[in-house]
Structure 1
Amino acid sequence: MPKTPVTAVFDIGKTNKKFFLFDENLKEVHSTYTRIQAIPDEDDFPSEPILPLREWMLNTFCEALKSQEFEIKKLNFSGHGASFVQTDENGEPVTPLYDYLKPFPEDLLKRFYSENGGKAAFCQQTSSPPLAMLNSGLQLYFLKYAKPEYFKKVRHCLHLPQYLSLIFTGEMVSDYTSIGCHTGLWDFGKMDYHDWVKREGIEALLPPILPGNSLLKTKPELGGIPCGIGVHDSSGALLPYLKQEKEPFALLSTGTWAISINPFNKTSLTESELYKDCLQFLSITGQPIKISRLFIGEEHKVQVEEMYAHWTLPLGTYKKLKFDEALYQKVSKNPKKRIGFKYLKPADYGLEKVDSSDWNSFSEFTEAYYTFLHELTDIQVASIQLVLEGAPVNRLFVDGGFNANVIFLEMLRKKLPEMEIIPSDFPNGSALGAAMLVNLDS
């Protein structure tokens, strides 16, 4: 019996590491995933376990190559942004893959901005809100001056998706989607690396930029299969919609982060927008795309854990809740905010800030959860509006983890009545986008 030809994709998120096989119609026919425990870096801060990840990927791929059912014809990768892998001349990592939540030395940050025309000017030039380690380019500045003993070993700096490609191809490249995701590396006015990258000798460590649909080949021992160069996950998630939709739309891609993307908004960024975590990405061809970001997945996780602990409830309780109009009306009419957010900053959007949540003030879990989602969606709507300003659209697709949360979706509909809110048909949009990229010409 002939094997089914498939495209393989590794989709490496911060939490879940997934492997997919897509058939010739780009329908998912197989998936598996793992979670890998973070390992402490030299400062005892959790870091991405890059070597265990590499081992899992190679083992998973080699097993798939032996399949009696599927024949892998192409391979690609999607990976989370704000992550650099520093390697020696042979492509072996020489530093931990630092977590983007790792603290950045304040004095070093001040020095960086003072050397580069001040924070506001720099952020506007690079379309990157001031996010410290989340501006992944600044990780290289941090390495040069805070960890010189590591930096002197570095010969190449690869964004995570391109490092994943290196594992399988042995070739080092860069791509626009990773360079353009709030890295502080790219001058959007000049459409080239920012002057600081050249001045600090960083550009020499960055491999050549290839278009996002470029194809390399896996190493001979891995089949010599056509292989992509990887894509930043949020940019990958956009591709299936751009292919399918003829009319303008926006996309809310959710997971650890909620990324609001309006591919039809070409307006330049204001300083105010930057400080609300609004920025520009680069598309696979290097064109700017306006986006805004919120750390809602992590916020939801910690708040729900607190609620479960307070009411002694089992994991997954919130998933059993349905939308209740009366309860929504009750919580939305309460004039006082009641949730103390851990990561989100309501004040950035002109909303009231509360220092901490008093779970005892709620009659039961459901009311507390509704109140949390009501206040969360207020901030989410304000973030979405940032990418609609100057380029309104009337449809919003929601993909990723929150597209299954009926309460979240219904609250968005209440608060954005002029828009059609559409749960996505592409729940694995990042992986599907990566698969599409290596099949554009077939």
Structure 2
Amino acid sequence: MKTGHVAVIDIGKTNAKLALVDLADLSEIAVITRPNTVRPGPPYPHFDTEGHWAFLLEGLQKFHAQQGIEAISITTHGACAALLDRAGTLAAPILDYEHTGPDETAADYDAIRPPFSETGSPRLRLGLNIGAQLFWQFATHPGLAERTHQIVTYPQYWGHRLTGIGATDVTSLGCHTDLWNPHRRCFSSLVDALGIRNQIAPAKKSSDILGPVLPEVAALTGLPPETPVYCGIHDSNASLLPHILANKQPFSVVSTGTWVVAMTVGGKDVTLDPEQDVLINVNALGDPVPSARFMGGREHDLATLGPYPEPDDAALAVILAEQRMILPGFAPETGPFRGQKAQWIGAQPAPGTALRGAEVALYLALVVARCLQNTGHQGSIIVEGPFAANPIFLRMLAVATQSTVVASKGQTGTSQGAAIVACQEAQFATEGDTISPTKERHLAEMRAYAEAWTQFAGDLAL
């Protein structure tokens, strides 16, 4: 495809979205969303796949009737797999990766999981390693392993519902699953250790076409029966793909949302430390990408405790002058400061105030700067998603990294990237405001603040 409209299914951890993207300029013609509410169970917390499916079918019907759809692409959060029975339906609900269940069998799982040197995948708590999910599900739910005919990663679950064809994709497998060897570009030894070699669906590139929509999908949506469905892509890699195709190395992309993922392309050679939540992602071209992440959107919400007015320079000046700080972290199970509990230094601003918003923005920027340092960042930094609309975050990130920061203006970088999966010949240029550290009016104060914060955060780790 070189022209036309691509409907992008975008299932994030917080919201489910459907976006219509025009390949001519990668503009988003329409976007609809619904909350990705986790259902409590039984048998365990799981995603509302039927609610999402009804929402997606209705949206596809409306988008096609109003604008026309030539193709469908899919992007989702990682750490998620679906177990399908022989009929192609779910053998069990799709596990929410924040469930504590997989921790119950952690010791036995750790005895069989491959080392970081093989997979580039750090050992994470909860269900953040898909391998740990599968081990726990099969160990604690009698008969599930026998009922499971095929295992697909999450983008391909939706692709399977649209086409009836099962697959996995390299970006989702390369997202700290323990199931992929990014160096050899094949399944890891864990697939055999778990005994799922014959169940896990074939690994495909994100740009591969799974097939046309099923006849019943065409009937419900009005889509032409030949409408192609592309394999799909992990959401952080969807944000990264346009920039890989458009920019010269080195550079980094910071994808923001519930998860903040910093990905460095062509950076310095550094030793990746899995203890700091550094890992190897796999991009849409199949190449390994040093990455670091933390639950930045979750931390923002836990730190701010609700809406607040946009901080101005006056609020920023107060926080900088008094060196009021937040030390990591609000989601201590993830990130470069794992295990550390958030602390406030100085007077804690009241919720709902610009002062609190400014202090939280500075904190998030400094954690992202540490993530970028851990991945060997060089060059410019492109910020995608909600944090791209936070001026104080962007300014501190530029100062702390001594790098030019570009705030992407796309409504959802993931939808653009997923649309490009359908046409890697599309012309893309990063559009957005550019922030230079040398032009920062509070440069000296921000540098002093960043140095003090770094010292405090380092002391916590001792």
Q: TM-score range by the shorter chain?
A: 0.7 to 0.9
Q: Show the counterpart of 2:448.
A: none
Separation (CA, whole Å) in 2 of partners of 1:202 and 1:249: 37
Q: Could you tell me how far 1:204 is from its partner in structure 2?
A: 1.4
Separation (CA, whole Å) in 1 of partners of 2:342 and 2:161: 45
Q: Could you tell me how far 1:236 is from its partner in structure 2?
A: 0.8
Q: Show the counterpart of 1:134.
A: 128
Residue identity matched to 1:134: L
* Residue deviations 1:178-237 (CA, integer Å, cap 9, x gap): 100000101234432222211322121111122221122112342220210111111111
CA contact (8 A) 2:182 2:282 kept: no
Equivalent residue pairs, number:
412
- CA separation of 1:285 and 1:368: change in aligned 2, threshold 3 A: closer
Q: Show the counterpart of 1:301.
A: 301
Q: Show the counterpart of 1:440.
A: 424
Report percent identity of matched pairs: 24
Q: Tell me, which stretches of 5 or more residues in structure 1 are unaligned?
A: 309-315
* Residue deviations 1:334-357 (CA, integer Å, cap 9, x gap): 5xx55573214799559x955655
Q: Show the counterpart of 1:64.
A: 63
Q: Could you tell me how far 1:28 is from its partner in structure 2?
A: 1.8
Q: Could you tell me how far 1:264 is from its partner in structure 2?
A: 1.8
Residue identity matched to 2:174: G
Separation (CA, whole Å) in 2 of partners of 1:353 and 1:81: 24
Separation (CA, whole Å) in 2 of partners of 1:124 and 1:82: 20
RMSD, aligned α-carbons = 2.7
Q: Spell out the pairing of 1:47-86 with structure 2 (5 A cutoff).
A: 47-67=46-66, 70-86=67-83
Separation (CA, whole Å) in 2 of partners of 1:348 and 1:142: 26
Q: Spell out the pairing of 1:36-435 with structure 2 (5 A cutoff).
A: 36-43=36-43, 46-67=45-66, 70-106=67-103, 108-116=105-113, 122-132=115-125, 133-215=127-209, 216-221=211-216, 222=218, 223=224, 224-265=226-267, 267=269, 269-270=271-272, 273-305=273-305, 308=306, 316-318=307-309, 320-324=310-314, 325-332=316-323, 338=326, 341-344=329-332, 348-349=336-337, 357=344, 361-362=348-349, 365-388=353-376, 392-417=377-402, 419-435=403-419
Q: Could you tell me how far 1:439 is from its partner in structure 2?
A: 1.7
Q: Could you tell me how far 1:378 is from its partner in structure 2?
A: 2.4
Separation (CA, whole Å) in 2 of partners of 1:343 and 1:12: 21
Separation (CA, whole Å) in 2 of partners of 1:353 and 1:372: 17
CA contact (8 A) 1:36 1:52 kept: no
TM-score by length of 1: 0.85
* Residue deviations 1:111-135 (CA, integer Å, cap 9, x gap): 121234xxxx623321111113101
Separation (CA, whole Å) in 2 of partners of 1:115 and 1:415: 40
Separation (CA, whole Å) in 2 of partners of 1:347 and 1:220: 44
- CA separation of 1:430 and 1:87: change in aligned 2, threshold 3 A: same
- CA separation of 1:211 and 1:94: change in aligned 2, threshold 3 A: same
CA contact (8 A) 2:326 2:345 kept: yes
- CA separation of 1:197 and 1:106: change in aligned 2, threshold 3 A: same
Separation (CA, whole Å) in 2 of partners of 1:227 and 1:346: 34
Separation (CA, whole Å) in 1 of partners of 2:425 and 2:398: 38
Q: Tell me, which stretches of 5 or more residues in structure 2 are unaligned?
A: 219-223, 427-462
